[in-house]
Structure 1
Amino acid sequence: MSDIRQLPAPLETSRPAPKRIVRPCEWQLVSAVQALETQMGSVEAYNRLCDAARNLKQKIDAGQGHAQHAMWATDPKWIYPAGGE
């Protein structure tokens, strides 16, 4: 009863990592950034994006941020289904 041995097990997963989920708003953001850069140039587009990021951070820090819409929320059970592939 004292002869305990560890069973051999693979150290890495056999499943590939899930692909990154791309939502429609991300394509709109890419398009908006491209249009911003085309119309204002790269430097001014960068400055405007930094201003927008600063404003969003201030909103979050003030406790006025909100969670994503439930329709676009990611369900880990869908990404990592139980029982394999």
Structure 2
Amino acid sequence: MSNVEQLPIKATSERPAPRRIVRPCEWGLLGAVRDMETQMGTVEAYNRLCDAAQQLKAKIDRGEAQAQNKLFATDPKWIYPAG
């Protein structure tokens, strides 16, 4: 029983990784960021986005976070099928 050897394994996947899910609101966000950068410049657009992120973080920290709409929720079993 002392002659134990590990079987050779293939530690990679044959299938490609799934594409990133893009929801409709993300296209609106990308357009809004592009428009902000056009109108205000990159630096001021970045500052405004940081302010918005800070407000969202404060909302989360206060316990007022909003759950996503179930219409846009995803099932990991559907995205990463077992077989």
- What are the within-5 Å matches in structure 2 for residues 72-83 of structure 1? 72-83=72-83
Aligned to 1:35: 35
Q: Any idea what the Cα deviations from partners look like across 1:10-68, whole Å, max 9, x if unmatched?
A: 22111111111111111110000011111111111111111101000000010000111
Question: For structure 1, which segment, 8-17 or 19-28, has the greater mean C-alpha deviation from structure 2 after superposition?
Answer: 8-17
Aligned to 1:21: 21
One-letter amino acid of the counterpart of residue 41, structure 1: G
One-letter amino acid of the counterpart of residue 23, structure 2: R
Number of residue equivalences: 83
Long gaps (5+) in structure 2: none
In structure 2, what is the Cα distance between the partners aligned to 1:69 and 1:11?
A: 37
In structure 2, what is the Cα distance between the partners aligned to 1:38 and 1:47?
A: 14
Q: CA deviation at 1:81?
A: 1.9
CA RMSD of aligned residues (A): 1.8
In structure 1, what is the Cα distance between the partners aligned to 2:6 and 2:51?
A: 56
Aligned to 1:66: 66
In structure 1, what is the Cα distance between the partners aligned to 2:9 and 2:42?
A: 52
Long gaps (5+) in structure 1: none
